[in-house]
Amino acid sequence: MDLKILAVGDVVGAPGVERVRRCLRQLKRRCGADFTVVNGENAAVVGILPHQAEAILDAGADVITMGNHTWGKREIVPFLEESPYILRPANYAPQVPGRGWGIYETKAGPAAVIDLIGRCNMDYTPDNPFLQVEKILKQIDVRIILVELHAEATSEKLAMGYMLDGRVSAVWGTHTHVPTADTRILPKGTGYVTDLGMTGPRDSVLGIRPDLSIAKFRGDLTERYRWADGPTKMEAVLFTVDAATGKCRKAERVDEWD
* Residues belonging to the active site: 69
Interaxial angle between packed helices 13-31 and 50-58, expressed in degrees from 0 to 180 and rounded to the nearest 10: 20
* CA dist., res. 121 & res. 100, Å (int): 21
Write a three-state SS string for the chain: CEEEEEEECEEEHHHHHHHHHHHHHHHHHHHCCCEEEEECCECCCCCCCHHHHHHHHHCCCCEEECCCCCCCCHHHHHHHHHCCCEECCCCCCCCCCCCCEEEEEECCEEEEEEEEECCCCCCCCCCCHHHHHHHHHCCCCCCEEEEEEECCCHHHHHHHHHHHECCECEEEEECCCCCCCCCEECCCCCEEECCCCEEEECCCECCECHHHHHHHHHCCCCCCCCECCCCEEECEEEEEEECCCCCEEEEEECCEEC
Rg, Å, the chain Cα set: 17
